[in-house]
Structure 1
Amino acid sequence: MISLRPIAWTVSLILGLIFVTAWALLPALESEPELRVFLFSGLGITMLGMVFTFPAVTGKSSIGLLVFGAILLRILLLPSPVSDDVNRYLWEGKLVSSGENPYLSTADDPRWMERRDIYWEGMNHRDRPTAYPPGIQWIMAGTASIHYHPFSFKILSVAADLLSLLLVIIILNRERFPLRWAGFYAFNPVILIAFAAEAHFDSLMIATILGALMAAKAKRLLPALFLLALAVQIKFIALILLPLFLVPDTGNAGKTIKHVATILPAFGVFLLMLIAPSIPFGDGLISWIRGTSDFAGNSAFNGPLFTFFSVLGANELLVRALCYIVFFVGFTAVCIARIRGLALAASSGIALTLLLICSPIVHFWYLAWILPFAALRPSFGWTTASITMAVYFLAWRTQAVHGWWGFQPEVSLFIWIPVFCAFLAQNRHLPARIAYFLKTGRQSKARNDLGIVIPVIAQGARSEALVERLGNELPAGTQIIIADASQQLGRGNQIAAGISKLDTDWVLVAHADTISAQGWYQNLMLAIEAHPEAALMVLGQRFDKVSPGTLLVEILNELRVVFGGVAFGDQTMVIRRSALDSLGGFPAQPLMEDVEASLQLDKRGPILYLGHEWSVSAVKWNDNFGLRFLTVIRLVATYQFTRLKGPTEAAKCAEKLYTQYYK
């Protein structure tokens, strides 16, 4: 049988290669801004294609395919013109390697007259003090000494970028998430253009932050803080992560005391790493601080909150004050959540998200700070931003037409309004989830036993075959409940009745026509161990007979879970019992029980897609595919709209839809 996934993935890759080749052929950054908007957004769409049509390979094959696609795209971008920031990297690197202190004067100071060259000519903002920290100055000096050419920084940037990709893959594997989620980083247009094309050094900061997170996860605080200090020396914004790294991952008093004792030498290393590279620049550090504050405090361009407040007509000073307040309140909440048990990676991603949203200046490559976290936990908002950020390149059209670089805040709305809508859609239940988290704290890892419920119309060969397959991997004595439709009307009522007979921490609901994936139980137990806070885990769905139509259904179902938090029963749901009980139990309704359960469980914890898909029969899609496809969309849309009127109306709607569906 021909598999359509490799074909679809290859087509997506080829389109991506066409887009990056066209980008690389453009002679200068300011050339063809409208075409750049098309190419950038096209790359964002092909990224989605490459992630959601990823072939059914695992392990080393999966990693090999990700790395192959990532390297190929980056190689084709290498001829692209670099950012004019690279001119400053080279020129300041030359100063440092010559024993000079770039913090003493601005680049246009006459004292540097003899140091001027073609890269000095190509620099921007020569009248402003440099804002780059001492650590990156030494890195720039070393790179410029090896080869005084922009390509040397491109190699450095891409090397750190690929290292970040490998670290993302390692973390995904440890967290038991699908490795293909690394495609949100590997194939992202922001990452590709920022590093392989324009050679920004932010990739070095990203790699060191990811390394610090891995070290902290392994409870190696000293190397974690060393790497975090290195990240701060590369880009100062990494400093906001320090409070989160200093919080222990446990509320146990004895372990907390031990953690504090470990902090002292690790924090000493952190301070040493901050101080030592700065000593040779001592007489210019005040100027550096002034340059950093000048960059952050006296400029504004494309900041999300800044854009919205500005369009509303608020005074610039008031806008800055509001952004500072939002960041302070939000970051305080993140720190409290971290103390209450929020994972370090999650809290770090949220902190950087807050920083970016509240920043007055957001260049397109700033999104790269967030995208590794958006690969670890796919984000509808940041994925949307990776497409809409294409509008950024119209800044060069403004320069060509009006003589100044940038665009009005109203133009930024085309970038940020879709992003905020996507964030709201994915996180619509976040306030309820936060309230529940603050009330209960991090979930215990005790027991973690599993019970199985299989709803059937009538017990027969299919359900017996599934029970036999499950029994091959389940521990002896595992409870399996066959919920027969002869006793309960509708699948939701069957499942609710079946769950009431179980006394387990987790419940797996499997349809009788599914075929379990090899090694599913071990993978699931590792995921439960890693994510006890999850309210619902979704294993995923693949049809036993693939056609263009069923492939489309697979992709849309996966998109809906990953970005919308709504699962279908065909995707095999694994529910945390404590979360379900806090909601009053499984929705006892004849239809849309899976949708209702997903929407309710999203209020109690994350809904995680594990990507360890089970095979599902495609028989019901064989006839009248188009009619069935439209019917399912209509039923789900009708139910979700009716839910807005209240639970009573939703229950009536479920009864009505059941009659229509099974007529």
Structure 2
Amino acid sequence: MFAGMLALWRMCRGTKAVLAVVILGIVARIAFLNFPHSDDVHRYIWEGRIQNLGHNPFALAPDAQKLETARDDNWEGINHKHVSTSYWPFSQMLFRAVVSAAPSPLAFKILFTLFDLGIMLLLFALMRRLNTPPHHLLLYALNPLVLVYTAGEGHLEIVVAFWLMLSMLAYAKRRYALMYVSLGLAVMTKVPAAIVVPFLVRRNNLRLAPLFGIPFLLSVPYLTDGVSFLHVPAMFAREYHYNGLADFLLRPILGGSNVLPVLACLLLITLATIFLLTTDRIRASMYALGAFLVFSTTVHPWYLLTITPFLVLYRSGPWLALHITSVALIFVFNPWARDPFWHATNLLITFEYVPFVIMGLRAMVTGNRHGPGHYGSPQDVSVVVPARNEQDHIRMCLDSIRNQEGVREILVVDGGSDDRTREIAEGAAGTRVIDSPSGRGVQIRRGAREAGGDVVLVLHADSRLQPDAVPRVIDILRRRPDVVGGSFSARYDSSQTRFRFTEFLNNLRARVFGISFGDQGQFFRRKSIADRIPPLRLMEDIELSLLIKEFGAAGFVRGGVVSSTRGWERAGYARNFLKVISLTTLYIVRRAFGLCSKDCADFERMYYGKARA
């Protein structure tokens, strides 16, 4: 089934073909309604029924003596009868409504399928907003995991996924009131959805945050004496463990009593890293949900339903692999799988997670992450060289650019030089000099707005391009239409060990996190972010990296730039190393919380000791 989905995804490109396959997905959902339902459905029916009898499912477990007279055949199929509900108030109201209308597993499966189809509509709207090719919708429409665990087994997670995708669409459209209400409904369906909330809260929507609390009013009818909505979820995390990746790896080492605090700490560290370094907040939401699953003690395959819609936008290889291998767990939950081979939990977990881990590590090391957008094939490059008093280096820099294939123009943006920089640049063939106020970010902004090429490449005046650097930039942008920009792997013009170490760290950071420094050379599609570059006096390279990540995928080109070590030698290596790390960290943290000044003049003073004229 997965092979068929991937084959159709690769073959179908036209709108009519995609529509035909989506219709096929709808037909498949109808067929899967005949699939054996999950035992979770028995609890849905039970909890809806006892509400209609006037009881509170948060206060009474299914085996409560008070409910003995209500027991029926459906009660026999409930798991964990000694535990009250873990489903939050919106879920409970949904259960009650369905049971009142048609108390059957089929009714729940039909309802969940409607939410599933609603996700397809939301994804279609979100894809149009993010310029995502329409055929990527097939990764959801024909996804076997969705078919099996929604129309097939009937799991509630699809409702959570619906509210999450509605909140993502609302965020993309800046309809923040709807976003907050949708997030509240997601949490009121199942509490783990709360993991997403911090990633969508921004300074420009904070005033509407109280709307998040409106769906919590649904909890009022269930607030009887002694009720705690968090008691059962906390108990499951503490006392039950099944199929969690980090839990599987750490429990034998730490022991059962110590593993939960360690998992919680690792989750918090991971979430903080995602919050600071992932500027695309929809992608960050996917990463947060993924981190929660990785560090959870219990992970059933249908929990992946909250991740599945994001595959349409970001086409994550590791998560797609986990979708495929998780299907093996169907055998664990079906009584006809009598062969004990299928119940060897350690074997199943190994089979399930090894491809996920290998592909995840590879994606991290190579920086091969997909973006939601789809951009055209670039033809030429404008090279922007911000310069100020660079007479000793500018000629070599321009010579390295001039003979590159694909260069449309060279723009030297002079920030008020009082040496021969401007004279040398004006005498160089194919070079145009533009005047600008000083400040490298100010100059880059001016050059990007003057550029006419499909791609803008920013090169420091004391750096030089290696042969074929520009053609390699054009090549990666043609091969990867989702890549907005990126950087080169750079080396310094010194063979000293300390600079080789610095090169390694710089290139590793650019690969893994997509954050590069200016002396690595940075490039981007002009129409994507040229008008969004702020006039910063310092930290412009970090800001440009984060902008690229916000609007798409970041690329990484091996080789390409040789940079000068003069700044390091002038300031002192150790001192400059620590200063660069501290200022970069400070800027990323401040930016994440919206606390940076408009021009970052304060960072310039911290770096140089005083603002430069």
Q: TM-score, normalised by structure 2?
A: 0.63
Shift of 1:211: 0.7
Residues 270 and 405 (structure 1), Cα distance of their counterparts in 2 relative to 1, 3 Å cut: farther
**1:82 counterpart SS class:** coil
- Which amino acid in the other structure matches residue 409 of structure 1? N
Residues 180 and 602 (structure 1), Cα distance of their counterparts in 2 relative to 1, 3 Å cut: farther
1:48 paired to 2:6: yes
Aligned counterpart, 1:452: 379
404-413 or 279-288, which moves further after superposition? 404-413
Aligned counterpart, 2:229: 288
CA contact (8 A) 1:78 1:154 kept: yes
Distance in 2 between residues matched to 1:181 and 1:169, nearest whole Å: 10
- Which amino acid in the other structure matches residue 53 of structure 1? M
Aligned counterpart, 2:245: 304
- Which amino acid in the other structure matches residue 268 of structure 1? P
Shift of 1:410: 4.1
CA contact (8 A) 1:103 1:130 kept: yes
Give the number of aligned pairs: 434
Aligned counterpart, 2:320: 383
Aligned counterpart, 1:57: 14
Residues 110 and 407 (structure 1), Cα distance of their counterparts in 2 relative to 1, 3 Å cut: farther
Shift of 1:499: 3.6
CA contact (8 A) 1:45 1:387 kept: no
Aligned counterpart, 1:558: none
Aligned counterpart, 2:186: 231
**2:242 counterpart SS class:** coil
Distance in 1 between residues matched to 2:178 and 2:289, nearest whole Å: 21
**2:55 counterpart SS class:** coil
Residues 572 and 387 (structure 1), Cα distance of their counterparts in 2 relative to 1, 3 Å cut: closer
Aligned counterpart, 1:162: 117
1:84 paired to 2:48: no
Aligned counterpart, 2:257: 317
Shift of 1:82: 0.7
Alpha-carbon displacement from aligned partner over 1:175-230 (angstroms, at most 9, x marks no partner)? 11211111211111211111010011111111111111111222121111001100
Distance in 1 between residues matched to 2:43 and 2:3, nearest whole Å: 33
CA contact (8 A) 1:307 1:410 kept: no
Aligned counterpart, 1:502: 409
Distance in 2 between residues matched to 1:348 and 1:332, nearest whole Å: 12
CA contact (8 A) 2:126 2:172 kept: no
1:117 paired to 2:72: yes
Shift of 1:98: 3.0
Aligned counterpart, 1:445: none
CA contact (8 A) 1:133 1:236 kept: yes
Aligned counterpart, 2:95: 140
**1:283 counterpart SS class:** coil
Aligned counterpart, 1:634: none
Residues 495 and 93 (structure 1), Cα distance of their counterparts in 2 relative to 1, 3 Å cut: farther
CA contact (8 A) 2:116 2:162 kept: yes
Aligned counterpart, 2:520: none
Q: 1:579 aligns with which of 486, 491, 494?
A: 486
Shift of 1:322: 2.6
Aligned counterpart, 2:290: 353
Distance in 2 between residues matched to 1:222 and 1:268, nearest whole Å: 9
Listed as ranges, the gaps of 5+ residues in structure 2 are 370-374, 384-399, 413-447, 449-453, 457-471, 493-506, 516-524, 526-557, 561-613
- Once the two structures are superposed, the pairs formed by residues 390-409 of structure 1 within 5 Å of their partners are 390-396=327-333, 407-409=344-346
- Which amino acid in the other structure matches residue 273 of structure 1? P
CA contact (8 A) 1:63 1:169 kept: no
Distance in 2 between residues matched to 1:213 and 1:570, nearest whole Å: 27
Aligned counterpart, 2:305: 368
Listed as ranges, the gaps of 5+ residues in structure 1 are 1-42, 249-258, 434-447, 455-477, 480-492, 506-527, 529-533, 537-564, 586-597, 611-645, 649-663
**1:49 counterpart SS class:** helix
1:270 paired to 2:270: no
Aligned counterpart, 2:220: 279
Alpha-carbon displacement from aligned partner over 1:595-627 (angstroms, at most 9, x marks no partner)? xxx999866849xxx9xxxxxxxxxxxxxxxxx
Shift of 1:396: 4.6
CA contact (8 A) 1:307 1:413 kept: no
Distance in 2 between residues matched to 1:204 and 1:577, nearest whole Å: 33
Distance in 1 between residues matched to 2:324 and 2:346, nearest whole Å: 18
Shift of 1:337: 2.9
**2:379 counterpart SS class:** strand
Alpha-carbon displacement from aligned partner over 1:426-482 (angstroms, at most 9, x marks no partner)? 232349x9xxxxxxxxxxxxxx9997249xxxxxxxxxxxxxxxxxxxxxxx99xxx
- Which amino acid in the other structure matches residue 76 of structure 2? E
- Once the two structures are superposed, the pairs formed by residues 153-302 of structure 1 within 5 Å of their partners are 153-248=108-203, 259=204, 262-264=205-207, 266-274=208-216, 276-283=217-224, 286-302=227-243
- Which amino acid in the other structure matches residue 249 of structure 2? F
CA contact (8 A) 1:101 1:284 kept: no
Distance in 2 between residues matched to 1:604 and 1:296, nearest whole Å: 31
Residues 422 and 315 (structure 1), Cα distance of their counterparts in 2 relative to 1, 3 Å cut: same
Distance in 2 between residues matched to 1:389 and 1:567, nearest whole Å: 38
- Once the two structures are superposed, the pairs formed by residues 512-591 of structure 1 within 5 Å of their partners are 579-580=486-487, 583=490
Distance in 1 between residues matched to 2:266 and 2:345, nearest whole Å: 23
- Which amino acid in the other structure matches residue 358 of structure 1? F
Q: TM-score, normalised by structure 1?
A: 0.58
**2:211 counterpart SS class:** helix
Shift of 1:329: 0.2
CA contact (8 A) 2:2 2:324 kept: yes
Aligned counterpart, 1:544: none
Residues 307 and 374 (structure 1), Cα distance of their counterparts in 2 relative to 1, 3 Å cut: same
Residues 500 and 228 (structure 1), Cα distance of their counterparts in 2 relative to 1, 3 Å cut: same
Shift of 1:309: 2.3
Aligned counterpart, 1:152: 107
CA contact (8 A) 1:131 1:295 kept: no
Aligned counterpart, 2:276: 336
Shift of 1:147: 0.5
CA contact (8 A) 1:384 1:418 kept: yes
Residues 603 and 325 (structure 1), Cα distance of their counterparts in 2 relative to 1, 3 Å cut: closer
1:126 paired to 2:69: no
Alpha-carbon displacement from aligned partner over 1:217-250 (angstroms, at most 9, x marks no partner)? 22121111001100111111111111112124xx
Residues 263 and 395 (structure 1), Cα distance of their counterparts in 2 relative to 1, 3 Å cut: same
Aligned counterpart, 1:424: 361
Aligned counterpart, 1:508: none
Aligned residues with identical type, % of pairs = 23
Residues 504 and 414 (structure 1), Cα distance of their counterparts in 2 relative to 1, 3 Å cut: farther
Shift of 1:377: 0.4
**1:119 counterpart SS class:** helix
Distance in 1 between residues matched to 2:289 and 2:83, nearest whole Å: 26
CA contact (8 A) 1:583 1:600 kept: no
CA contact (8 A) 2:116 2:158 kept: yes
Aligned counterpart, 1:655: none
Shift of 1:286: 2.9
Residues 84 and 336 (structure 1), Cα distance of their counterparts in 2 relative to 1, 3 Å cut: same
**1:427 counterpart SS class:** helix
Distance in 1 between residues matched to 2:482 and 2:159, nearest whole Å: 39
Alpha-carbon displacement from aligned partner over 1:17-48 (angstroms, at most 9, x marks no partner)? xxxxxxxxxxxxxxxxxxxxxxxxxx222221
CA contact (8 A) 1:535 1:602 kept: no
